[in-house]
Structure 1
Amino acid sequence: MANLLGKSVAFISSVERGDKQPPSGFDDLVINAFGLEGTEKDDLRKAFSRARTSFEIRPTTEVGLDTASMLARRFNDLDELDIMRIREILDGKGE
């Protein structure tokens, strides 16, 4: 796997154990290297998403930056209902 992905065995092992977060774009690298499609591809993306504890975003507007900053500061104070409401908006269901 390490050779196929062009990464060291130590790096792959540390990601598998959870010692390192998968870097941005690593899911695409794995998906393309192994030709994953459909549910395999979706399941892998979900697994990578759940393995990450930090994310880099680059808002392009001032209101986007303010909103992202506010969400980051207050996220752990939100209850499950608030988080579900945000998810519905992001999924396009809150329109």
Structure 2
Amino acid sequence: MEIKGLDAVLSDTSVKVYHMGTTLKKLGEGHESYDKAGHSLVTNGGRVLMVLASAPDLKSAHDKALEAVSKVDCDNLFHRTDIGHWAFE
């Protein structure tokens, strides 16, 4: 599955994206190009990306990370919202 939207995610310098189950693949015309050679970023496994954000406090960083994840576009993408939730109770 093609992963789109990472340019929008990475436009915020306080957000980092780590790749685990991704690879570059030539998909041809009409697909988002990830590099100058025209490769697209695609899933290549189960856990695919880890999105981290920094902010002045933990709650703001959590919210910023979730906002960044919402910009990632990929069919069948699932992300967790419960990680660290206990810190805000």
TM range (shorter): under 0.3
Give the number of the structure whose residues are more often helix, by fraction. 1
In terms of fraction of residues, the more strand-rich structure is 2
Could you tell me the TM-score, scaled by structure 2's length? 0.25
- More relative contact order in 1 or in 2 (CA 8 Å, sep 6+)? 2
Larger Rg: 1
